Amino acid sequence: MSLAGVPMSDRRSLARCIAWTLFVGVLAAGCGQTRRPDGNVGLLPVGAKAPDVVGEDVQGKTVKLSDVKGTLAVVYFYPKDGTPGCTAQACAFRDTFDRLQQAGVTVFGISRDSAASHREFRAEHKLPFPLVADESGDVARAYGVPSKFLIMTARVTFLIDADGNVARVWPDVDPAVDAKRVLEAAGELQGAKPAA
């Protein structure tokens, strides 16, 4: 196809249209199921061994999922520090934190933000639990959590049992009710109703 004789303004419009189509295609390609390092595709299923995560707590101390084996843990992935949904989700875990601790549940929040961003986010909202800086996306891939727009992690929550296995998976969670749902599931796993 020759563009000879096509006005320059139409050529620019065509170039913008092609660029936009390619951009949308690249974004869409980043939103499919994720291939995990174990060779399988999609979110880790219930019963799978939970990959270790390493985060930083309020005091700047390193905390690992493997260090809390023998208790329940929630590993929740979120897109970005400081965004409305992610802030609502983190604050819901903060507001439920005492009851989660009473139920023996450790919380790890994970996004692709840097450790410095996590420190600011945690300080601003007084978050009492570790945040994991997964800048490379390796932790998300290990759990099979897809990317959104290539640079942000999708919102997925995992409840890990005392043996270190995935007990529950919630894809596409509602940030406002995620912590409550995790608390209820932890109570069910332990055979008791969580404290009100």
Instruction: Write the burial class of residue 101 (CB in 10 Å: 0-12 exposed, 13-18 middle, 19+ buried).
Output: middle
Which of the residues are catalytic?
A: 86
Place of tokens 């880790």: 44
Residue spans of alpha helices (H) in 30-148: 84-102, 115-125, 138-143
Dist CA 1 CA 132 (whole Å): 51
If you compute the radius of gyration of the chain from its CA atoms, what whole number of angstroms results?
20
